[in-house]
Amino acid sequence: MENRSVKEIWEAIKQEKWQKPTSGLAKGYTQANVVILPKKEAFDFLLFCLRNEKPCPIIDVCDPGEIAPPVAGPEADIRYHVPKYRIYRHGELEEEVNDIASYFTEDMVTFLIGCSFTFEKELMEKGIPVRHIEEDKNVPMYITNRNCRPAGIFSGPLVVSMRPIPAHLVDKAAEITTHYRKAHGAPIHIGDPAALGIKDIQAVDFGDAPTIKEGEVPVFWACGVTPQMALKNAGPELVITHSPGHMFITTITDEELNQL
């Protein structure tokens, strides 16, 4: 599957021949977090994303009922082209499904939000180690003491991911990610975890505990779990998301993403 085109992968996903995480698929193409909710809550959520661009960088938003993201996948069908979806009712996970045809109505609005896959690939290509990928683990994530700017019914803390970077490469890592405004951008914080209210760097809130080697500095980026927590707090009647790691693969290249 690794060498297939984006459209071939979408088709394989629709035919349920690929129901696994999308990491490593369609190299060079941006992958996105998916949030789908009723139009009633769509204005508040869009405003929340705009007010908190680092954790919630908008790649594309559909009209109500629109199944093809106009920028990120004009030939896609968002009801079938994600390998696994989660259905939330009033903030609680109800089930995981392979397609959302029975949930998607003319009233549902699809948001695609940037994710850190994009800049992690670039970091590694430029010689900066990404520990959790080396160790085949999930990135360590922490709930911080900073609050997002609220919008309507949505509010919540800023959640960050952390990557330990050798001290002499920290500036380079920061500079590379600064260019990825649509993939969380520059670090939120470099160094002391306590500045973000993180007491114990080993006590992660999500993901796996990190291995930090001597001479490495913890670098914190805004994380896509932030909007998920705001969605859980607000608890709209129905929210559909991708399942963790099972992203929507866009037809936007990583290079094009910086031009959006």
Q: Write out the residues near a second copy by the rule CB under 8 A.
A: 39, 42-44, 46-47, 50-51, 58, 61, 63-64, 70, 109, 149, 151-152
Cβ nearer to a second copy, comparing 51 with 126: 51
Q: Tokens 């941006």: give the residue.
A: 30
Provide, rounded to whole angstroms, the least separation between the CB of residue 67 and a second copy: 15
What b/e string do you get for 172-206 counting C-beta neighbours within 10 Å, with b at 16 or more?
ebbebbeebbbbbbbbbbbeebeebebeebeebeb
Provide, rounded to whole angstroms, the least separation between the CB of residue 46 and a second copy: 6
CA atoms of 198 and 179, how far apart (whole Å)? 27
Cβ nearer to a second copy, comparing 95 with 106: 106
Parallel/antiparallel/unpaired status of strands 29-38 and 141-147? unpaired
Cβ nearer to a second copy, comparing 10 with 154: 154
- Tokens at residue 233, please? 């707090």
Cβ nearer to a second copy, comparing 9 with 42: 42
**Which residues on adjacent β-strands are paired with residue 109?**
37
Provide, rounded to whole angstroms, the least separation between the CB of residue 25 and a second copy: 28
Provide, rounded to whole angstroms, the least separation between the CB of residue 76 and a second copy: 17
Cβ nearer to a second copy, comparing 164 with 227: 227
Residue 26: name the closest of 72, 79, 84 by CA.
Answer: 72
Provide, rounded to whole angstroms, the least separation between the CB of residue 61 and a second copy: 6
- What DSSP designation does 148 have? P
